[in-house]
Amino acid sequence: MYFCKVQDKDSINPQILKMMMMGGFSSDSSGFVSPKDKKTPQKAKRKVEFDLHFDRVFPQGGSTPQVQRLPMQLEVLQEFITDCKKNGVTSAYVIVGKGEGKLKKMVSQELERQHIRHNLVLDPPYFSNAFKVVF
C-alpha cells in the first residue's frame, strides 16, 4: 500500500493521482469498474427459421389433396408462433417460397390478425420468399 505525503495543499504526486484514477486504491463501493474488468455476458444469437413448404413440414403428406394443404400449413404456423413466444424467441424467419403466392398472402394475413410485426425479406438468401417476424 502506498502513502502519499502532501507537502503543499496544491501539490499531489502525479503517479499517485494516476494510480488513484486507475482504481489502484479503490476499496469503496462506488460502483466504478474499470473497462477491462467489466465483462458483459453475451447471448449466443441464433437464427430461427421455419420452412413452411408442405413437403418439409409433412414429408409423408404427398397424397394430401391441395385444398387441405393450406389449412394444415397455417395450423403448423400457429404452433410455431406459440412455441416462439413460449421460448422467448424475439425474431424468426418464416419461409413461404414462391409458388402461386397463396401461402405468402395467408401467412401475412394471419400475422396481421395476431398483431405480429413482419416484413418480407428482399435480400439474399430469401429473395422475397420469407418473412422476418418480430414477436
pLDDT > 90? residue 25? no
Question: 118 is written with which cell numbers?
Answer: 413482419
Per-residue pLDDT at 112 = 97
110: CATH: 3.30.1370
* Residue found under cell 395450423: 75
Amino acid 33: pLDDT: 56
Q: How confident is the model at residue 12, as a pLDDT?
A: 72
Residue 16 contacts residue 4 (beta carbons within 8 Å)? yes
Is residue 119 over pLDDT 80? Answer: yes
Q: How far is CA 123 from the centre of its chain?
A: 18
Query: Is there a domain that residue 8 lies in?
Result: no
At 7, the amino acid letter reads Q
pLDDT score recorded for residue 28: 52
pLDDT of residue 26: 53
- Taking Cα atoms as reference points, which of 94, 52, 93, 90 lies closest to residue 73? 52
The model's pLDDT over 67-117, given as tens digits with 9 standing for 90+, comes to 999 999 999 999 999 999 999 999 999 999 998 899 999 999 999 999 999
Q: Is residue 126 part of a domain?
A: yes
- Asked, for residue 25, whether it belongs to a domain, the answer is no
Residue 9, exposed/middle/buried by CB under 10 A (0-12, 13-18, 19+)? exposed
pLDDT over 80 at 44, yes or no: no
Domain-located, residue 32: no
Specify the pLDDT at position 13.
76
What one-character-per-residue DSSP string does 54-77 give?
HHHH-TT-TTS-HHHHHHHHHHHH
Domain that holds residue 54: 49-134
How many domains does the chain fold into? Answer: 1
Average pLDDT, the chain: 83
CA dist 37 and 60 (Å) reads: 55
